[in-house]
A and B are shown apart, each in its own frame.
Chain A
Amino acid sequence: MAEATLSFKKAAAKAVADGELQRALQNVKTGFVAKRAAAKSKLPEFDGLRTEARAIKDHTLTHLDLYLEAYESKVVESGGQVHFAPTAADARDIVLKLCREHAAKLVAKGKSMVSEEIGLNAHLQAAGIEVIETDLGEYIVQLRGETPSHIIAPIIHLNKEAVAADFRRAHKGRLTSRRLSDVKDLVAEARAVLREKFLFADVGITGANLLIAETGSSVIVTNEGNGDLTSTLPRAHIVIASIEKIVPTLEDACTILRLLSRSATGQDITTYTTFTTGPRREGDPDGPTAYHVVLLDNGRSDMLGGIFQDMLCCIRCGACLNHCPVYGTIGGHAYGSVYPGPIGAVLTPALQGLDHARDLPNASSLCGRCEEVCPMSIPLPAMLRAWREREFAQGKRSWSERLALKVWAFVAKRPRLYHAIAGLGVPLLMRLAGGCGRFTWLPFGTSWTRVRDLPAPEGRTFQQLYAKAQRRDRQ
């Protein structure tokens, strides 16, 4: 994971050259972006709800310890158990221990980014437990041995032909002549294959979009119903969620739910929004007999009280990814981190440390669209700048970049020197461009000029032009 992040530039270049990926990424623009805009326009209160939702999160975060305690006592009251996990390793160990206690041979999983964050599947598999992802996208990601390329649309990078090839390879014992040319065929086959898994799974693991302190409930938001089969059919249900997922009340959940799916897929609401509170009750004819919640910290408590606290307001809708020009160009895998896009660029260094995410804070043009569409108004560009400042202050940028910035700062802080150099440089560059107005090659600038031209200056500096205009006005 960390290694992949280090080679971000290479991965990005590869992604740009990948024709299939580029075709798939077009779907983001025509799909999610347009659908969100339509959903928002049908709800006049949308922006007001954003302000309220943000206030809910701010209040919760400043009382986080108390809401976690309140939540925990309600879970226990309803017959469930809460397990605190300070680190990713702790969370992995707790889940494995629980799986062993329930004699799990087969674990069905609902979609959970937190489980990706802690590398849960590999840990359980290494202990001899079969783990099956049941969200269609995550299932295909698992078949391919990949990671999700989008937090809510894991296989946004694939087309249906690739999926059909994976199914032919993985689903043995089915007719080779079967039709898999339509998305419908693929969904039907996955349904049949995964149905068997649901029925035989010993333990179901889901994430949580929200946790509710008022009632001790965990909430999952899905369209497929896989999360519900996962939390209903197996003997035990384990919820894995990070500590900032908590909200105080059902009313607070309503406000956030009104924003979540509209921001994510542009739906007014997803097909299923499920509130789960404890294990099967007396008289219940179905449902698991054990219910556990693993609460993951993994660096989040350190983000409280500082500049990155706002990041903990994130509800993982993916709107910032969908609207990001960088994500739209390179897709999710090039980021090399579990969380891609603008949130990943801010979150990854916070969770793993700057050394593991060297290029990510720079993978942004700071255009500000992410903050504009964020339902929680998280100031992502300001946070990216903060990471850049820290990288520079800690000497984590290359010597050439640091030297260049130092030289520039030296000159920029001395206006006379700056004017003198610009006054000499601009006509020189114009002449070097040879009259065509652009450079196709520059020393030290090949990573720019390899893929596009650099416009050449057109004769005078801004100050010269400004001074001239002033003189003209006076005359």
Chain B
Amino acid sequence: MSAPEEARAAVLARIRSALGIAKLDRARRAAVARRLERHPRGTIPVQALLGPAACVSRLAEMLTTQGAEVARAATPEDTINAIASYLASNNLAPRLRTGADPRLAALPWKAAWDISRAFGPAEPSDKACLSYALVAAAETGTLFLVSGAYNPTTLNFLPEFHMVLVKAPDIVGSYEEAWDRLRGIYGERALPRTVNMISGPSRTADIEQTIVTGAHGPRRLYVVIQG
């Protein structure tokens, strides 16, 4: 055996001997395989068991409490207007960085002809960016952003102003429902490289337990709920 294989065997052997495991452990293997296959749910808090309308309002409420700004948009045109006015009200140039997400590309950008979009991973000089949340869990106001060509992970952390679009039908109550949505897209026992659960702007309370936003990631998080 090579040294890494020996180290691996040593750790596993120590665990088995400490647990007093005999060689034939079919029952244990079956228990593990069953759990991984069925991934049973634990108790889901009542506050996460919500109908569609309540999901939207709780998501907005929790995000706001956690320091994010939330806008409601009835139509894609409203979404574009919300983005444009957010940039303007923060004295930002009408420029943003975004991924290749077709759902973002399908927005009626002509309505805001002056906004220029750059595509691809974030650059250090990017001030504002726009991402698409695949799903959101209302229970704690949590957006699920996944990596991939559509939504580069650097968008979630490098620019100061992070805007996220989430569509109302994609807002579920609990984390468990959100994971099931992702399983529906990526398959069982598979995830994209990165799943970022984001519940507010970057913050720190390391110095004297005083909360300050914009520690390393975005200073501001702006969430547009469409529909």
Chain B nearest Cβ from A21, distance in angstroms: 13
Interface residues of B in 37-80 (CB under 8 A from A): 39-43, 45-47, 62, 66
Residues of A participating in the B interface, judged by any CB pair closer than 8 Å: 24, 27, 31-32, 43-45, 48-49, 52, 56, 59, 62-70, 74, 78, 83-86, 90, 134-137, 140, 153-156, 158-160, 163, 183-184, 186-188, 190-191, 194-195, 198-199, 213-215, 217, 223-226, 228-229, 231-233, 243, 248-252, 254-255, 257-258, 265, 267-281, 283-287, 295, 297, 301-306
Give the CA-CA distance A272 to B18 in the complex, in Å. 36
Q: How far is the CA of A252 from the CA of B176 in the complex (A)?
A: 10
Q: B36–A228 contact, CB under 8 A?
A: no
A-B contact pairs, 18 of them (CB 8 A): A27-B208, A31-B205, A56-B42, A63-B28, A84-B7, A86-B10, A137-B206, A156-B209, A213-B36, A214-B189, A248-B36, A250-B39, A251-B40, A271-B201, A271-B202, A273-B196, A275-B197, A284-B147
Complexed CA–CA distance, A280 and B216 (Å):
22
CB neighbours (8 Å) of A85 from chain B are 7, 11
CA distance A24 to B209 in the complex (A): 10
Given that A268-B62, A271-B202 are known contacts, is A276 also in contact with B42, CB under 8 Å in the complex?
Answer: no
Task: Judge whether B149 is part of the interface by a CB distance below 8 angstroms.
Answer: yes
Query: Could you give, for residues 135-172 of chain B, a 1 whenever the CB lies within 8 Å of some chain A CB and a 0 otherwise?
Result: 00001111000011100111011100000000000000
Cβ-based interface call for B121 (8 A): yes
Contact of A229 among B18, B45, B157, B197 (CB under 8 A): B157
B174: chain A residues at CB < 8 Å are 254
Contact check: which of B25, B32, B157, B209 meets A153 at CB < 8 Å?
B209
* A200 CB, nearest partner CB in chain B, Å: 11
Q: Give the interface size bracket for B toward A.
A: 35 or more
Q: State in angstroms the CA–CA spacing of A228 and B215 once bound together.
A: 12
B213 CB to closest chain A CB (Å) equals 9
Give Cα A303–Cα B11 distance, bound, in whole angstroms. Answer: 13
Q: How far is the CA of A275 from the CA of B186 in the complex (A)?
A: 14
Expressed in whole angstroms, the Cα–Cα distance for A140 and B62 within the complex equals 31
Q: Does B190 contact A (CB under 8 A)?
A: yes
Give the complex CA separation of A206 and B149 in angstroms.
24
B14 near A301: Cβ-Cβ < 8 Å:
yes
Q: Pick the contact of A67 from B32, B191, B194, B209 — CB < 8 Å?
A: B32
Bound-state CA distance A270–B141 (Å) is 11
Contacts of B39 in A (CB 8 A): 214, 248-252
Give the A-B contact count at a CB cut-off of 8 A: 275
B207 within 8 A of A: yes
For window 1-22 of B, CB contacts with A under 8 Å fall at: 4, 7-8, 10-12, 14-16, 18-21
Q: Report if B199 contacts A (CB, 8 A).
A: yes
**A297 near B36: Cβ-Cβ < 8 Å:** no
Tell whether, in the assembled complex, residue A274 and residue B196 are in contact, meaning their CB atoms are under 8 Å apart: yes
Does any Cβ of A come within 8 Å of B210's Cβ? Answer: yes
Which one of B21, B35, B156, B189 lies within 8 Å of A65 (CB-CB)? B21
Asked if residues A84 and B11 are in contact (CB atoms below 8 Å), the reply is: yes
B127 in the interface, Cβ–Cβ < 8 Å? no
Given contacts A74-B189, A224-B203, A271-B198, contact A214 B36 (CB under 8 A): yes
B112 at the interface (CB under 8 A from A): no
Which residue among A217, A225, A295 has the maximum number of chain B CB atoms within 10 Å of its CB? A225
The 3 nearest A-B residue pairs measured at CB: A225-B217, A224-B215, A137-B206
For A186, list chain B residues within 8 Å (CB).
Answer: 207
B196: nearest chain-A partner, CB-CB: A274
The verdict on B222 contacting chain A, using a C-beta distance below 8 Å, is: no
Contact A66 B154 (CB under 8 A): no
Indicate whether B29 reaches chain A with its CB closer than 8 angstroms.
yes
Q: Which of A137, A188, A258, A270 has most B Cβ within 10 Å?
A: A258
Task: Tell me if B204 is interfacial: C-beta within 8 Å of chain A.
Answer: yes
Query: Known: A62-B19, A223-B202, A265-B205. Contact between A276 and B193, CB under 8 A?
Result: yes
